[in-house]
Structure 1
Amino acid sequence: MRREGVVAVTGWIALAGFAVPLAAQARFYPTTAVTTGVEARRYSFGAGFGAASIRQVAAPLAIVVPVGRRFAIDVGTAIAATRVTRSDGSFAELNQITDTQVRASYIFGRDVAVVTVMVNLPTGDEEISVAEFAVTSAIASPFLSFPVSTYSSGTSVTGGVAVAQPLGPWNVGLAGSLRLNSKYEPFVDAPEPFTYREGLEGRVRFAAERLVGSTSLAMGLTYSTHGQDEFQRGSISLGGYQSGDRLVAEFGMSGPVGGGTLTGYIWNYHRFAARDSVDLGVANRENVVAAGLSGSFPLGRSVELQPGLEGRIWSPDRGTGRLLGLSTALAIRPADRFAVVPEGRIDAGSFETQAGRSITVTGWGFSLFIRYSL
């Protein structure tokens, strides 16, 4: 079995779910690189949804720095402006920098084990108004994909270990991580001091990949569980809340087609019912399934066309949602160390309420990313 495949699986299971995209190679990160750009996304909703539109413009920044062949540090943050416009024309918005994630990664042995430590630094404003909290809630669902889904979550530390080994024609791996969160005050306009601490999060991930002829197969399964969140007003405990466990299953295959590469994938995100659902009156369970195709086809020595098609089905506690998206990107590499990727997309779908009413949703997006390797 290819050694590079073992490294790729190790990196995939070790780094999946962190803020900065993974790039596991024989040298982990082959060179220092800086990625930045701008990404805009807007969704408009039909009558009866409550919000007329949600739009977000974000400018991310990611820096990766290899230190020798086994150690790497990467940093990721973003500035994001989000506005939720209500049906009556009023709006709420949140414009600020997000938290910053700093991660250190080290490869042990013959590139079959990775240890990572990530610190979430609260560079985002921990204290927001109740109106701004409504904005953060609107972008949090995995159904509508916004560039930034959370602004600030306080200080936290995540430690993880991943191992991978060849098993016959497969490269298989297993990873685990724990995240410890600090206490912070989420609301700036609370009538009394109000503190919140998210419960301990544990995550286990299994991944596998192999080649079948010229086609690459990859699959993953991630299970995460959360401890009880704690709420406190002054010195008085307001009780706790324990959200449901989460399960994410992924499968993808990629192979050569017509001088380029075509990739097909499917994933399913499921959040189980909250353990305190009786107190809330709702179970807060949720399921999102998505399937899509993406391609990469050369148009010349330094330009690639990257079309994409994806469909999603959302099943929350009440009602359902469907969304179909089309995207087209150009990967332009005018030099070995420099790449520019502009992309445009459109989305169309609907929400079905529990009463059977259909509400239309349309969307568009644009992004321009620049990557420079030092």
Structure 2
Amino acid sequence: MRRRAHRVAGLAALALAGVPNLAAQALGGGGTAYAGMEVRSLRFERLAGIKYLRQVGIPFGVVLPAGRFSFDAGSAWVRTTMERADGTAHSVGAFTDTQVRGTAVVGREAMVFTVVVNLPTGPTAAPPRDYAVIGAISPSLFGFPVASYSSGFSITGGAAAVIPAGGWSIGVAGSVRVTRRYTPYTDATGPITYRPGAEARIRGGADRLLGSSRLSLGVTYSTFGDDQFGGASTVRGQYRPGPRWIGEAQLAAPVGAGTLSVGLWHFHRSAGDTTGASARNREDLTSGEVSLSLPVSARLDFTPALSVRRSDAEVGGGYLVGVEAGIHLRLSERVVFSPTVRYESGSLDDDRLVRGRISALVGSAFVRVFY
């Protein structure tokens, strides 16, 4: 029962956006508290306008299990700096939105219901200089831990269940998110308000054992209502987001005393529509990673990894190839320390199809306490 609940909670978390997958851990054991630091620095060469993008984030959160229920919350303090090609720089430091989630397991077949509330603790009404920095970190190819500081108050409700089918476990999850109007930034005319349309998401997943290995597959479809934007009391226009698809596959296999993991992920976003004209934001983003977890001692694991990420966008695009090394150190039965370092290199085409170089240096360190 607990193992199935853990698996269904994982599918539910994947169907819901933006919350760390810690509730699933709580359903399989005790509570968890975490805090850490993430640093990502991108350098751009031969591209007009921008030279560096750096982000330092301090995420933190907690999971509180209570029988068939689990509650978790998380937020972060983030500082992002953009340095332009002319040497001028500007930074934005602020807390992000806070996300609170409640999860309940119902019935003997381990159906899971989840409610996520996004609390708008992030910045609002950002001035133009701030919003230029906030907008620069949004491309998925860049891989910033925090790609958006705030998205307004929203409530997401979801449900998931697992159905056994021979040697397979088939999971189905769905969710609906509703967001209130908020004010992301201001311009010369005053505050700009934005009201996202409702989002509906459905996910199917499957996994099974293949000998001593485990194969997991998943596909997610998202559709959106019309977004509205305008001034404080007027509507200037609307935007109709295109539907989105995500496909993913992962294989975990024992290799000697270690574990080899191979993951593939593909995201497709159809072009949106603004007052009858294409927004020209269609994108296909594909990523893959191979990692090997190697036990060094009873308390220490070493994990090297190779990754590639490629964006094929309607305007621009690029790729990044990365190499990573990390350790997983059990300081005690209840405390785990996990630092990683990564280097990435690739190319980037801007909206004028000028190709430049991009490189990234990434580091993170997390402490997790289990209780």
Task: Settle same-fold status: TM greater than 0.5.
Answer: yes
Q: CA deviation at 1:9?
A: 3.4
TM (norm. structure 2) is: 0.95
Structure 2 residue matching 1:19: 3-state secondary structure: coil
The one-letter code sitting in structure 1 at the alignment partner of 2:313 is P
Corresponding residue of 1:232: 230
1:245-260 maps to which residues of 2 (within 5 A)? Answer: 245-260=243-258
1:61-72 maps to which residues of 2 (within 5 A)? Answer: 61-68=60-67, 70-72=68-70
Corresponding residue of 2:40: 41
1:145-294 maps to which residues of 2 (within 5 A)? Answer: 145-188=143-186, 190-276=188-274, 279=277, 282-294=279-291
Taking structure 1 as reference, are residues 328 and 214 closer, same or farther at Cα in structure 2, changes over 3 Å only? Answer: same
Matched, 1:15 2:13: yes
> Over residues 278-304 of structure 1, what are the superposed CA-to-partner deviations in whole Å (9 max), with x where a residue is unaligned?
546x42111110111012110001000
Structure 2 residue matching 1:305: 3-state secondary structure: strand
Taking structure 1 as reference, are residues 354 and 191 closer, same or farther at Cα in structure 2, changes over 3 Å only? Answer: closer
Q: CA deviation at 1:48?
A: 2.0
The one-letter code sitting in structure 2 at the alignment partner of 1:341 is S
Q: 1:49–1:359: 8 Å Cα contact kept in structure 2?
A: no
Structure 2 residue matching 1:24: 3-state secondary structure: helix
Taking structure 1 as reference, are residues 264 and 195 closer, same or farther at Cα in structure 2, changes over 3 Å only? Answer: same
Taking structure 1 as reference, are residues 42 and 7 closer, same or farther at Cα in structure 2, changes over 3 Å only? Answer: same
Structure 2 distance, partners of 1:42, 1:158, is 32
Corresponding residue of 1:76: 74
The one-letter code sitting in structure 2 at the alignment partner of 1:181 is T
Count of aligned pairs between the two proteins = 369
1:351-366 maps to which residues of 2 (within 5 A)? Answer: 351-352=348-349, 357-366=354-363
Q: 1:245–1:272: 8 Å Cα contact kept in structure 2?
A: yes
The equivalent position to 1:306 in structure 2, one of 303, 310, 318, is 303
Structure 2 residue matching 1:9: 3-state secondary structure: helix
The one-letter code sitting in structure 2 at the alignment partner of 1:323 is L
Structure 1 distance, partners of 2:89, 2:275, is 30
Matched, 1:338 2:338: no
Structure 2 distance, partners of 1:88, 1:299, is 48
Structure 2 distance, partners of 1:354, 1:78, is 31
TM (norm. structure 1) is: 0.94
Structure 1 residue matching 2:140: 3-state secondary structure: coil
Structure 2 distance, partners of 1:108, 1:11, is 11
Corresponding residue of 2:24: 24
Corresponding residue of 2:123: 125
Q: CA deviation at 1:191?
A: 2.8
Structure 1 residue matching 2:27: 3-state secondary structure: coil
Taking structure 1 as reference, are residues 234 and 353 closer, same or farther at Cα in structure 2, changes over 3 Å only? Answer: closer
Moved more, 201-210 or 133-142: 133-142
Structure 2 residue matching 1:224: 3-state secondary structure: strand
Matched, 1:370 2:367: yes
Structure 2 residue matching 1:343: 3-state secondary structure: strand
Structure 2 distance, partners of 1:179, 1:290, is 26
Q: 2:316–2:348: 8 Å Cα contact kept in structure 1?
A: yes
Structure 1 distance, partners of 2:324, 2:231, is 47
Structure 1 residue matching 2:273: 3-state secondary structure: coil
Q: 1:29–1:66: 8 Å Cα contact kept in structure 2?
A: no
> Over residues 303-322 of structure 1, what are the superposed CA-to-partner deviations in whole Å (9 max), with x where a residue is unaligned?
00011110011111123301
Q: CA deviation at 1:139?
A: 1.3
Q: CA deviation at 1:193?
A: 4.1
Structure 1 distance, partners of 2:160, 2:350, is 42
- The percentage of counterpart residues that share the same residue type is 36
Q: 2:23–2:72: 8 Å Cα contact kept in structure 1?
A: no
Q: CA deviation at 1:37?
A: 0.7
The one-letter code sitting in structure 2 at the alignment partner of 1:39 is E
Structure 2 distance, partners of 1:97, 1:353, is 30
Structure 2 distance, partners of 1:367, 1:234, is 40
> Over residues 316-354 of structure 1, what are the superposed CA-to-partner deviations in whole Å (9 max), with x where a residue is unaligned?
112330110111001000211000011101000012457
Corresponding residue of 1:101: 99
Q: CA deviation at 1:18?
A: 3.4
Taking structure 1 as reference, are residues 155 and 353 closer, same or farther at Cα in structure 2, changes over 3 Å only? Answer: closer
Q: 2:111–2:161: 8 Å Cα contact kept in structure 1?
A: yes
Q: CA deviation at 1:265?
A: 0.8
Unaligned runs of 5+ in 2: none
Structure 2 distance, partners of 1:331, 1:52, is 34
Structure 2 distance, partners of 1:313, 1:306, is 23
Q: 2:52–2:84: 8 Å Cα contact kept in structure 1?
A: yes
Q: 1:6–1:166: 8 Å Cα contact kept in structure 2?
A: no
The one-letter code sitting in structure 1 at the alignment partner of 2:329 is I
